[in-house]
Structure 1
Amino acid sequence: MLSTALLKSSSRTLGATLLVGGLLLSEAATAQITTPAASPKSTVTQRVGLTDVTITYSRPSAKGRAVFGTLVPFGKRWRTGANQTTTIKFSDDVTLEGKKVPAGEYGLYTIPNKTEWLVVLNKSTKQGADVDGFKDDQDVVRFSAKTYKLGAKAETFTMGFSDMTPATANVDMQWELTGAKFKLSTDVDPKVMAQIDEKVVKNANASANDMAAAAVYYYDNDKDLKQALTWIQKANEKDPKFWNVHTEAKIKLKLKDYKGATASAEQSRKLALDAKNADYVKMNEDLIALAKKGK
C-alpha cells in the first residue's frame, strides 16, 4: 500500500515538474530577441530663461546614404526624425521666430528645402507626416528656419540648443552636412520683476541674498541703478560677501562714482584675498584701474 502511494505521489510531482518546465520552454521560445534600435529615442531638456523646453525625438543615422534631397525629400513634410512624431514641450508661453506659442506640447514637423526649412508645430503629437493623414487645421504656427553647412559630418540626426542667452536660445537640427535652426525667446522680465516686487520691494525683512539678486538683475538689465545701489548696500551691511561688494563697486562705476567704486573694489579685493579667490582679486584690480581712468 505504501509503495503504491509513493509511486502515485512521485508521478504527480514529475507531472507538475514537466508541466512547469514545458511552460517555461514555451515562454522562452516565444520571447522576442531585444536588439539596439536603429533610430534610438532621445529626450533633451533645456531651461531657457525661466522656461523648461523638452524635445523628444528618434535619431536615425545616415549609414552612407545621401540625406536631404534623397532620403529626406525636399518639399515634403518630415516628422523631423524617425519612428514616432517628434514633440516639443514648453512649460510657459514662448516666441518662436517672432510668433507667439502658448505653453503646451506639440508635434514638430519640418518641410526641408535647400536654403530653408518650413517648421510646423501642430496640436497633435500622434499623427503621421503623410500628406493624406495630416490635419493642417491643427497647426499652431508655421515659420522658416534658415539652413547652414556643417563643418563636420553629423552621422546621426541631432536636435539641441545653441547660442544661449538669459532669455533666448536657438533650437538646432543637424544631420549629415546640413543644419537648420530657429530662435526661441522667453518672457523673463515680468516674472523676475514680480519676484523682486514680492520678495524685496514689498518685504521690509528682505534677505541679503534677495536684495543682492535684485541689484544684480537691475545692473545687468539697465534698470534703476540708484535703486540697485540701495539694495546692494543694504545687503552688504547685513552680510558683506566679496562678490556682492564687487557688484556694489560695479554699480558705482556705472554711476560714475569713481571714488566710491574704488573704495568698494578695494574692500572686495581684500575679502577675495582672504577667501583665496584669485579670479575676484583680478576682477577688482581691473575695476580699480578703470575707476582711476575715470577719476
Structure 2
Amino acid sequence: MKKLIFILAMIIANYAIEAQIKTPQLSPKETLTQVVGLTDVEINYSRPGARGRAVIGNLVPYGKLWRTGANENSTISFSDDVIIDGKTLAKGKYAIFTTPKADNWEIVFYSKTDNWGNPPNWDEANVALRTNAIPEMIDRKIENFTIGIASIDTNFAYLELSWENTLVAIKFEVPTHKNTMASIDKTLAGPGAGDYFSSAQYLFQSNGDIVKARTYVDKALEMNTNKPYYYFRLKSLIQAKQGDKKGAVETAKISLAAAEIAKNQDYVKMNKESIAEWSK
C-alpha cells in the first residue's frame, strides 16, 4: 500500500511540474530589426502598458533616471559606428536609459547591458554617448511603450521612443557611403585570399579540378601575409592528392610549426599523422 501511495505521489508531482500555468506578460517582450542603409540595427525591450494610469511625469517621473521600458535593459545594437548629435557611437550593443523632463529628455547609451532595470551603481565609464532631444506631443494615445526606427533614409534614421501622448526622436547617421565605396573597391579589386582558399577547399573536398585547387591555394598563400597554418594544411593535402608526397611533407611541417605556435592541437595532431603517413 505504501509503495502504491509513493508511486501516485510521484505521478502527481510530475504532472504538477509539467502542467505549469502560462499567463500573459504585463510588459511583453519585443524585438525589432531594421537595416538603415547598410547598417543592421536591432532593438530588444519590454513594453509596459499605461492601463489607465498617467504615464509621463507620473508613472515615469520627471528628472529621474528611467530604464526606458520594463524588466531587463532595453538594448539597441548597431553593426557599424553611427553618428548621434555629431558624436560617434561605436558599433556594438548598448542599454538605453533616459531622464525625462517636460521640455527635454536626456538619452544615454550605456555599454553595460545586463542590468534588471537601472544599474545599482551608475558608472560614468560605461556611458558610451549622451545626447538630448525635445519631446513632442502627439494627438493619439500610445497604450504600450514603443521603441521604433522611423524616417529611414539611406544615410540616417530616427530612433523613436513613444508612450501615452509623448514622442521623443533621436537622429542617428550611418556610414552608408563609406561602406558602399569599400564594397565597390573590394569587388573591383578582385577576389581576396579567403576567396581563393575557399575555392581551393571546395575543389579538394568535392574531388574537383585538383590542378586548379593547387593554383588557388598557392594564390591564397601569396596574398595572405599571415600565412595561416590551415592554408598550409590544405596545400599539403592537395600536394599529396597530386602524388607529390615529398612536397606534401615539407608543407605539412610548415603547417605543424605554425599550429604549434597557435596552440591548435587538432592541427598539430593531423599534421603529425599526415607526415608519418606520407614519409613511408
**What's the TM-score once normalised by structure 2's chain length?**
0.63
Contact 1:94–1:103 under 8 Å retained in 2? yes
The answer to whether residue 68 in structure 2 is matched with residue 91 in structure 1 is no
Q: Alpha-carbon deviation of 1:129?
A: 5.0
Judged with a 3 Å threshold, the aligned counterparts in structure 2 of structure 1 residues 44 and 131 are, in CA distance, closer, same or farther, namely closer
Q: Alpha-carbon deviation of 1:108?
A: 0.8
The answer to whether residue 62 in structure 2 is matched with residue 74 in structure 1 is yes
Q: Partner residue of 1:7? A: none
In 2, the alpha carbon distance for the partners of 1:79 and 1:65 equals 18
Residue 11 of structure 2 aligns to which amino acid in structure 1? L
Instruction: Map Cα deviations across residues 151-180 of structure 1 (whole Å, 9 max, x no partner).
Output: 210001111111110111000111000000
Other structure's SS at 1:174 match: strand
In 2, the alpha carbon distance for the partners of 1:116 and 1:89 equals 24
Contact 1:77–1:131 under 8 Å retained in 2? no
The answer to whether residue 24 in structure 2 is matched with residue 28 in structure 1 is no
Judged with a 3 Å threshold, the aligned counterparts in structure 2 of structure 1 residues 130 and 195 are, in CA distance, closer, same or farther, namely closer
The answer to whether residue 187 in structure 2 is matched with residue 193 in structure 1 is no
Contact 1:97–1:183 under 8 Å retained in 2? yes
Other structure's SS at 1:61 match: coil
Residue 57 of structure 1 aligns to which amino acid in structure 2? Y
In 2, the alpha carbon distance for the partners of 1:128 and 1:29 equals 29
Other structure's SS at 1:28 match: helix
Other structure's SS at 1:160 match: strand
The answer to whether residue 134 in structure 2 is matched with residue 150 in structure 1 is no
Q: Alpha-carbon deviation of 1:121?
A: 0.9
The structure number with the bigger radius of gyration is 1
Q: Partner residue of 2:37? A: 49
Judged with a 3 Å threshold, the aligned counterparts in structure 2 of structure 1 residues 33 and 146 are, in CA distance, closer, same or farther, namely same
Alignment of 1:1-295 (within 5 A): 15=3, 19-29=6-16, 32-130=20-118, 133-200=121-188, 202=189
Instruction: Map Cα deviations across residues 129-153 of structure 1 (whole Å, 9 max, x no partner).
Output: 5575222231111000221011210
Contact 1:127–1:134 under 8 Å retained in 2? no
In 2, the alpha carbon distance for the partners of 1:125 and 1:51 equals 21
Residue 107 of structure 1 aligns to which amino acid in structure 2? A
In 2, the alpha carbon distance for the partners of 1:119 and 1:32 equals 40
Q: Alpha-carbon deviation of 1:197?
A: 2.5
| Number of equivalent positions | 189
Measured on the aligned residues, the alpha-carbon RMSD in Å equals: 2.1
In 2, the alpha carbon distance for the partners of 1:132 and 1:194 equals 42
Residue 192 of structure 1 aligns to which amino acid in structure 2? T
Q: Partner residue of 1:224? A: none
Q: Alpha-carbon deviation of 1:94?
A: 0.9
In 2, the alpha carbon distance for the partners of 1:104 and 1:122 equals 11
Other structure's SS at 1:67 match: coil
Q: Gaps (5+ residues) in structure 1?
A: 1-10, 204-295
Q: Alpha-carbon deviation of 1:20?
A: 4.1
Q: Gaps (5+ residues) in structure 2?
A: 191-280
Other structure's SS at 1:137 match: helix
Other structure's SS at 1:195 match: helix
In 2, the alpha carbon distance for the partners of 1:55 and 1:126 equals 14
In 1, the alpha carbon distance for the partners of 2:125 and 2:185 equals 42
Contact 1:157–1:173 under 8 Å retained in 2? yes
In 1, the alpha carbon distance for the partners of 2:119 and 2:42 equals 26
In 2, the alpha carbon distance for the partners of 1:130 and 1:55 equals 18
In 2, the alpha carbon distance for the partners of 1:19 and 1:150 equals 63
Instruction: Map Cα deviations across residues 85-129 of structure 1 (whole Å, 9 max, x no partner).
Output: 111111111112221011111111000111221000111102355
Other structure's SS at 2:135 match: strand
**What's the TM-score once normalised by structure 1's chain length?**
0.60
Q: Partner residue of 2:200? A: none
In 2, the alpha carbon distance for the partners of 1:32 and 1:109 equals 34
Other structure's SS at 2:8 match: helix
